[in-house]
Amino acid sequence: MSSLWWVPSLVVFGTTALIVVGIVVAVRARRRTAIASGRIADPRPESIEQLEVRAGQALVHADEAVRRGTEEHAFAAAQFGAAATSAFTAALDNARGRLSEAFELRQRLSDVTPDTDADRRSWSARILEACTELEAALEQQTTTFVDKRSQERNAPDRLAALRTVRAQINERIPDAEARLARLTKLYAAQAFADQRDAVSTARAQLAVAADEIKRADAAASTADPAVPSLEKAESACNAAASALDSLARAEERLAAADAELRSTIAEAERGLTEAAELRDASGIPEAAERIAAAMVELRAVLDTVTSAAGPQAPLHTIDTVRSAQATLDDALASARSAQRRIDNAREALSGALFSAHSHLDSTREFISANRGRVGADARTRLAEAERQLALADAAADPVEAVDIARRTARLAQDAGDLARYDAGPRTAPLMRGR
């Protein structure tokens, strides 16, 4: 027998192996293609980090969907009445509820408490499910009424109304310029940083509206559609009016903050007088020393505030004084009777709620004005601040309510800082001086 008898067998087995390897490679390639195209599911589980990123993106999209749905619902209700838009109203209410639940889940993922991998995956999946479903429900309602409005629009009448609206907004510009000049003279730039560009923004948007009105006017005399230009003009007029409204509200808010600051200073002075009495009456040296140190801190803050010259930022100053007051309150806790603590908390509550509402209003307006650039974390903190404010309002214990209100103000400030960071360097927060 030849010594190479094994060669044919080797050729056969080698050829068979090559065929098997080729089949396996081809099958795997087709599987990867099918997974990429979505025809079959990828058996590999998505990482928790990827799932959380998708959940955050879904929250942003869902929050914007609710805002757009709210605007479209207002248009639909004005045109077709409450009865015809009842299903839209119900869908919007349900969407707001589900969005609030989704933000609460996101807050759990974002807080400092460690979460298990199972909880992180479950909560992120629930966020995705809620956001997807509420967007679909709102899209269905919005599409229905957009179609109705498109069919029933009267372009010439709408164009005439737009001209009137634009002219009315334009007439507000001189007053807004005077208001901006007053704010610049009375307050530090950081006190109304979000509204410094209000007049220029309004002018730019009115210019956009004027251009779109011209295009719509030209289209009305041709076969071209006028509705896209009309919608752009309406949006520009709304943006211009919102900028001017925000400036007016800022002036009102700062005027109220001036009055609140005077009240806060008077309250702090009374607190120092009471603290001196409790310090002297305290039988615990450590407690007396702590009270004395907190009094020195608060006294220094008050002296700085009362001696400050030039434009100020009253809301920031209120926060600074109240922070020093909170330190003093903590120091007094061991020397103050339970009833006196409750009485003092009742006195402090209105001021704490004022700060919470002010920071919430300011942050909410900024996110609304920059909705396309603000991410999930800022929105989550804002939603949590709103939830905390509701808890403060419902708290029966004034001591607890003050703590929650102060926590609300901090959350709202954090949300504002994150939102301005997301929006970019032009709106980044100024240094707070601490």
User: From CA 294, how far away is CA 3, in angstroms rounded?
Assistant: 102
- Residue 373 token pair: 């650039």
Reported as a single tens digit per residue, the pLDDT across 35-70 is 444 455 455 678 989 999 999 999 999 999 999 998
Phi-psi region of 310 (alpha: psi -120 to 50; beta: other; left: phi over 0): left
User: From CA 57, how far away is CA 127, in angstroms rounded?
Assistant: 10
33 Cβ neighbours under 8 A, 6+ residues apart = none
Instruction: Indicate the average pLDDT of the chain.
Output: 83
Asked if residue 340 has pLDDT above 70, the reply is no
Q: Domain-by-domain residue ranges, the chain?
A: 11-44, 51-152, 155-244, 246-427
Helical residues (DSSP H) of 282-375, grouped into ranges: 285-307, 314-332, 338-369
Q: Identity (one letter) of the amino acid at 101?
A: E
Q: How confident is the model at residue 18 (pLDDT cuts 50, 70, 90)?
A: low
CA atoms within 13 A on the CB side of 216: 25
Mean pLDDT of 315-341: 80
Q: Are 61 and 134 in contact (CB under 8 A)?
A: no
Q: How confident is the model at residue 12 (pLDDT cuts 50, 70, 90)?
A: low
Mean pLDDT of 65-93: 86
| Distances from the Cα of 285 to the Cα of 182, 197, 288, 296, angstroms | 51, 54, 5, 17
Reported as a single tens digit per residue, the pLDDT across 348-383 is 888 888 998 999 999 999 998 898 889 999 999 999
* pLDDT at site 74: 85
Asked if residue 5 has pLDDT above 60, the reply is no
Asked if residue 434 has pLDDT above 50, the reply is no
Residue with tokens 């309510």: 401
Q: What percent of the chain has pLDDT over 70?
A: 82
312 strand-pairing partners: 187
From the list 159, 161, 144, 11, the residue with the least C-alpha distance to 89 is 144
Asked if residue 387 has pLDDT above 50, the reply is yes
Q: What percent of the chain has pLDDT over 90?
A: 43
* pLDDT at site 111: 82
Mean pLDDT of 104-125: 89
Start-to-end CA span in the chain (Å): 97
User: From CA 432, how far away is CA 63, in angstroms rounded?
Assistant: 29
Mean pLDDT of 130-156: 81
* pLDDT at site 46: 84
Cα-only R_g, the chain: 31
Reported as a single tens digit per residue, the pLDDT across 414-423 is 999 999 999 8
Lowest mean pLDDT among 10-14, 34-38, 48-52, 79-83: 34-38
User: From CA 167, how far away is CA 172, in angstroms rounded?
Assistant: 9
187 strand-pairing partners: 312
Q: How confident is the model at residue 430 (pLDDT cuts 50, 70, 90)?
A: very low
User: From CA 251, how far away is CA 228, in angstroms rounded?
Assistant: 35
User: From CA 339, how far away is CA 51, in angstroms rounded?
Assistant: 50
Q: How confident is the model at residue 133 (pLDDT cuts 50, 70, 90)?
A: very high
205 vs 154, more confident: 205
